[in-house]
Each structure stands twice: as C-alpha cells, then as structure tokens.
Amino acid sequence: MSLTQAEADFLLKLPKQARPSDVLELSTASTMDRDWELLSHDRREEFILTIERGRKKTARLKYQTRARKVIVLARLDLNGRPHRNPDGQPYRPGEWLSNSHLHLYKEGFEDRVAYHLNEVPNFSFTFSDDMGALEQFLNLCAVDPIPPIQTSI
C-alpha cells in the first residue's frame, strides 16, 4: 500500500490525539518498544505512535508515526545507524546521514528518505534531550494536545 505525496502530507498534518487516559512512557535507560494509538480529531483516521529504544545501544531512540497501520509518515532516529538516501530523490541523493536524522514519507520512496535535523522542510528541531525531541516530534506530527509524558529508569 502506498500514498500519493499529497495524501501523506495531509495525514501528517491532520490533527491527532491520544486517548484521554494515555500517558506516553519514555524509558531513559532500558530498552523499550511500545505503540500508542492516535486518532484524528474527527475519528476517521487511525495512527500508531511508536517509541523504541535500542537493545544494545540504549542511546539509540526512535519515534515513529504510522498511518493505515503500515505506512510510516515520519520517523525521528536519535543516535541511529548511518543511513544512505536513495538515488533519484531530490534531497541529498546517495548521501550518507549519520547520528540523528528525520525520515519523512516521500512518494515512490516511502520512508527511505532522511533529512538532517537542521534541514527538515517547514520545521525546526531545537531539542536538548530525549523528552524535548519527543515533544517536537509530536508537534511535527500534529498531535494536539500532547499527552502526558512519564519518564522511567
């Protein structure tokens, strides 16, 4: 299943919310892989928010939003493995991106296109810690209101 770029952009910007009782958990030291359901404000679209911390390298952290259960709209990789952008796409084709970067859905390439955090189109990342990164990622994905975030060791 794939989307047009217009559909993907619409879904990313569509206001979303977590269930009122949901609290996002952010482990600061141990591995984690957890999903939360998000719904559009009109309840017509469902999304999945994933927070995953690396098993071997706990500094590695991933925040991801999917639409229609399987389509990655956006993924923020913090301290992730180096990633090579595919040839033939407009943003830094064939270039390796290391450490932290943001993947955005790109028609024809799905989520394989990654951006340096200081070059994300129409968004500015300025976080200094994992929680700040999560809050900014939720803003990028139009999650409103941002649910409570609980940190655990």
pTM of the full structure? 0.94
Mean pLDDT, contiguous 10-residue spans, the chain (153 residues): 94 96 86 94 96 80 96 96 92 94 96 95 93 96 96 74
Q: How many CA atoms lie within 13 A of 27 on its CB side?
A: 17
C-alpha angle with apex 37: 32 to 43, nearest 5 degrees?
170
**Is the preceding omega at residue 121 within 30 degrees of 0, hence cis?**
no
Q: How many CB atoms lie within 10 A of CB 124?
A: 9
Residue partners of 21: CB distance under 8 A and separation at least 6: none
Q: Where are the domains of the chain?
A: 5-152
DSSP 100-153: EEEEE-BTTTBT--EEEGGG-TT-----SSHHHHHHHHHHHTTBSSPPPEEEE-
pLDDT at 51: 96
pLDDT at 126: 94
| pLDDT tens column, 70-99 | 999 999 999 988 889 999 999 999 999 988
